[in-house]
Structures are given as C-alpha cells and as structure tokens.
Amino acid sequence: MAAIAEPLPSISPGGDDRRFFLGGAIIMAVTIAAGFILNLVMGRSSFGAPPLIHAHALTFMAWVVIFLTQNILAAGGNIALHRRLGWLAAGWVVLMLAMGCAVTAYDIRVGRVPFFFKPLQFLVFDPLTLIGFASLTYAAVALRKRTDWHRRLHFSGMAMMVGPGVGRLLPMPLLAPWAWEASFFVCLIFPVAGMVFDQRRHGRVHPAWFVGLAVTFGVFLGTEAITYSPVGKALYAAVAAGSPGAAVAPLNLGHPPGPPPGAKPAAG
C-alpha cells in the first residue's frame, strides 16, 4: 500500500491478507528491477541518456521502493510510519504524472520510440496508463479507512506500472505489432491472482478487483480508440510539430537498430 491505512479487519472476520499483498509487492518490484537490469546488461540502456531520462527513471524506481516499503510496514504492523510515508507517496504520484508525460513527449519529438511500438500508440498509452494508475491510487487513498478496498486498489494500480519491466523481459520485437497489447495482458496476472486468492481464502471476490479491472481495461480500450482516430493523429501532430518526430509516420513501426533492410554493406 502506498498511502495512508488504518488497521481495520479484512473482508473475512479474523482474516489477514498481509502476506499475499507483501508477496505480490515483492514480485512486482523484482519484475520491474529484472526488466531494467536485463536491458542494461544487454546494452539496450545507457547511462549516457539525457538528464530528463535519468530523472524519469529515478522518479519511477523511487515509487517502486515506496510501494514495497509501504507493504513491508503494513505487514509488520508499523501503521504509524506507514501513514506518514503515505502522505509522501500521495504527492509523489503527481511527480510521476509530470515526468511520465514529459518523457513521452520527448521521445516522440526526438523520434526515439521503441521500434516495436507504433509512435502514436506509444504517445497515447503512456499517459493514459499513468492516469489509470493515479486514479486507482487516489481512490485507495480516499478509502484508506477501509483496508480491504485500500489494499486491493493500490495493488491494482501498481499492476499497471509493471508494464515497462514486463516489456523488457518479453521478446517484444517478435510480438510486434501487438507488443504493447501483449505486455498489457501479462500484467493482468497480478489482479487476477488477487481475485483467485480472495475466492480461495474468503469464498468470494472482493469488488475492488472489478473496479481495478474496469479502470485497467478502460485504459486499454481508450488507447486503442484514440490511437486509430482523428483525435490521435491531431494529438501526435501537435506534440511532434517542429521536431524530427514530425517526419515519423505515427502508425508505422520503426526499423530495428542497425542498417535498414536492403542496405549494402560499406566497402572495406
């Protein structure tokens, strides 16, 4: 949980779900870290990136640390510190929204969208995913005195943030042109696991999971609708105007790194 919580009972009298949520938080954190470490080891990331990219990475990795720490505090019963850190977490989401949108616009303008994503789809799904995540996170904050809702809404929101880590572990070039959709559906493993856990432990699925899934699929459907609409094309034109990105076809996949297809090797 990355916000304020009260030690109220879970949906089952006498039940305690803290182990499940802590375990899930650990798995999500490890997945994200593994994806970025793999990228670095394989030379697909560089410390020579512009300062904006580093600031973005630090902002989002700090959220992973906050989320994991909040779950550790809740599992250990340290609710006082959990509550205080929650106020920082609530404000941190605003920084994530700003940094995420800034980096997305930067990538579009310099034409550095990963080649297995359609640039316009990338422009749409990044901000919409952040908005969905923020919506669930702030809903969890609003329901902080109802721990059963608080935990599940936070968990569902965090599941939406696992996509970048999952995408770096999947063979994304082989999944094009459905690379984003593939990573999206893999991330559904986390809320679905929560639903299965509830059914087995409590005999019913908590309605918070359905709210989480509704927001998540809202992001998915919104992304697909905007990407292939005149609104999406107008948005791309506005963001890319006056930059190298304006010359990039918004719905075409890019070329993989290396010489373009059909290029003749340089003479020795």
pLDDT in tens, 211-265: 999 999 999 999 999 999 999 999 999 999 999 999 999 999 987 765 544 545 4
Residue 104 has pLDDT above 60, yes or no: yes
In the prediction, which pLDDT does 12 show?
46
Contact 67, 25 (CB under 8 A): yes
Helix axes 207-227, 189-202, angle to 10 degrees: 160
What average pLDDT does the structure give for the chain?
Answer: 90
Closest by CA position to 2, among listed 218, 158, 116, 168: 158
Contact 104, 198 (CB under 8 A): no
Tell me the two tokens of residue 90.
């609530």
The pTM for the full model equals 0.88
The model's pLDDT over 6-40, given as tens digits with 9 standing for 90+, comes to 333 345 433 479 999 999 999 999 999 999 898 88
Instruction: Please compute the mean of the pLDDT values over residues 200-221 and round it to a whole number.
Output: 97
Contact 35, 169 (CB under 8 A): yes
- Cα gap 212→158, rounded to integer Å: 10
Query: In the 8-state DSSP scheme, what is residue 162?
Result: T
Contact 101, 235 (CB under 8 A): no
- Cα gap 114→121, rounded to integer Å: 11
CB-based burial label for 189 (10 Å; 0-12, 13-18, 19+): middle
Q: Which residues contact 115 (CB under 8 A, 6 or more apart)?
A: 173, 176, 253, 254, 255, 256, 257
